Amino acid sequence: MENNQTKLYQEREKYRHRAFLMMLEIGIILALPAFAALFAGIRLDQNYKSGKFYTFSLLFLSFILSWMVIIIKYVRFNKKIKSIDKEIKELKELKEEIK
């Protein structure tokens, strides 16, 4: 039982470390589509002489899509953390009952 609890603590720490990496990933998720939208929008605006219409439209679309991806990733990550925390709590309760 002690081994299971240690294993769960290690798994939780692994996910905490992964949270840091996810922050880096969030930056990439936001930045890459924004830069692509910016350059594509500028090019379309120059070709069609539409002011800043395409630039702002594509930037807005990239922002919305990026946040959708971020929210989906957060929900999946949070489910894993809650599952591990629940198992840790159950093991602690079981350990206390044995004492």
CB atoms within 10 A of CB 46: 11
Taking alpha carbons only, the member of 72, 65, 73 closest to residue 19 is: 73
**Three-class secondary structure of residue 99 per DSSP:** coil
Task: State which amino acid sits at residue 56.
Answer: F
Whether the CB-CB separation of 5 and 92 falls below 8 Å is answered with yes
Tell me: pLDDT of 77 over 90: no
In this prediction, residues 39-56 reach a mean pLDDT of 95
Q: Give the separation between CA 50 and CA 55, rounded to whole angstroms.
A: 9
pTM: 0.71
Cβ 21 vs Cβ 72: under 8 Å: no
> Which tops the pLDDT comparison, 90 or 99?
90
Q: Please check the confidence at residue 72 and state whether its pLDDT lies above 80.
A: yes
Domains of the chain, by residue range, sit at 2-98
Judge whether residue 20 has pLDDT over 90. Answer: no
